[in-house]
A and B are shown apart, each in its own frame.
Chain A
């Protein structure tokens, strides 16, 4: 982690009464990174986000946004954040434009910029209608517009895909990735939808019962689309016992239902195949088995928490 991290959570703790909701969480998010905050319902995701944006007080620890403590320099810290906390609730009796104007006045955003973000989220032809008549997807887009219009360095989204249809989810995902890549905006996104996070995020923290139990990278160096987290290669062979013998010394080889499973990269896969062929074992197929984030998630959270 570099010192240029835009978000720094340090021993963040929240207690309500005698109950510890968030227990000494520490993490950092870098500019241009899409960071996922993953956990089952009730694990403390929303509480953490509420503390980041100043809706809840901190019991212990601190949060720095761009080097400014939310405790001591709240205005400076929060001016760098754009956020949607849970559903994008807007003033339904106002038009989309009036809603944006409302929040623009609070952050000193120009009218040209309002028009710009309106076009950006594709609401230009409905922006002067009352929000009352908007679909959930349109409200979500209006929510994104108010969150990005002051060009925040950090975008915080709490369960952003809730209630969106697949096209809407895809649109949002593409937009967030573009924002991170092109503008260097850090995106902090919480979800309990594992498959979503896998497609969207560079790194994820897994939260359970108010504690971070794992932080891991989802993307290998330089690869944009391969969200491969751990890779095993399945060799379909006729005689698994002999094959296992032949692969002896290659580490993780083990018997599976239809052959041999081996943790391997491209080179090792070729080497293993050669060994099998040289040993006279017929290889019917070689397949890469990726372990999804979901498998891993259930593994680390013990699988007893329904996400």
Chain B
């Protein structure tokens, strides 16, 4: 019996043998370059350590793109098989449906990690290219320890939010078997998150700290702030709240994918 990793290998083949994936990667490579160039044109020569604050800004913009690209891949991973009709060949092998779905989920997360790594490297390199390298990290006013640790934390926090949005897209894809709908709703979640969290903040009750939208931007912890206005939550609490939503989304995805008849 072949191992589980051969399934992940298959999913990776279906991701990286597509031209669209490499076009996406092209955007992840070029966007930080464009952003640094733009910021350089806007600000001109700045003081020492500017490369870190530039990297932070371009990383936040870039991560938006990486999240959308991962959502596209997550939606395609499930709904695509139904659209292409290949689901009928995929599910008639000696593998449980739950295992097949897990291989898709894992390959999607690996995709996000790969793109995050490329994004990290590119936003670092391009900010250094335009603003020079400064080891002290003076440009980051709220810096606690080293600028490298700060940047890694920034990426880790953004990655957590990405997992939530992507898991949501994965669920939509599994439930509706339509990648367009799944992508659309996930981007809606991503875009409306801030507005909705603002509205919930206006409600001002204690329970809003359990609302997912309040925790979708965890980077406020980096600046010494809190994602839920007026409530001093910890990062651990935020992660626990998000984890609860991720678990629920995954229960829905797995239940629907494993139970439903393939009639298409």
Contact = CB atoms under 8 A, between A and B. Distances in A.
A76 B94 contact: yes
B7 interface: yes
Contact of B86 (A76, A91, A106): A91
Nearest to A92: B84
Nearest to B83: A89
Interface stretch (A54-62, A198-206, A207-215, A226-234): A54-62
B93 A106 contact: yes
Interface in A271-288: none
Interface in A81-116: 81, 83, 85-87, 89-94, 98, 101-103, 105-108
A43 interface: no
A241 B13 CA distance: 77
Contact of A98 (B17, B88, B89): B17
B73 to A, nearest CB: 14
A79 B7 CA distance: 16
A81 B89 CA distance: 11
B130 to A, nearest CB: 37
B91 A106 contact: no
Contacts of B6: 105-106
Contacts of B18: 93
A99 to B, nearest CB: 9
Contacts of B95: 75, 106
B98 to A, nearest CB: 12
A85 B10 contact: no
B57 to A, nearest CB: 36
A146 B86 CA distance: 12
Contacts of B261: 50, 55-57
A218 interface: no
A92 B19 CA distance: 12
Nearest to B261: A56
Given A55-B261, A90-B86, A102 B92 contact: no
Contact of A105 (B10, B86, B91, B262): B10
Contacts of A12: none
B18 to A, nearest CB: 5
A140 to B, nearest CB: 13
Interface in B1-23: 1-2, 6-7, 9-10, 13-14, 17-19
26 contacts: A50-B263, A55-B91, A55-B262, A56-B261, A56-B262, A57-B259, A74-B96, A75-B96, A76-B94, A78-B93, A78-B94, A79-B93, A79-B94, A87-B85, A89-B84, A89-B85, A89-B89, A91-B86, A92-B84, A102-B14, A103-B89, A105-B6, A105-B7, A106-B94, A107-B2, A146-B89
Interface of B: 1-2, 6-7, 9-10, 13-14, 17-19, 84-86, 88-96, 259, 261-263
Given A56-B263, A89-B85, A105-B10, 13 more contacts: A55-B261, A55-B263, A57-B259, A57-B261, A76-B94, A79-B93, A90-B89, A92-B84, A93-B19, A94-B13, A101-B13, A102-B13, A106-B6
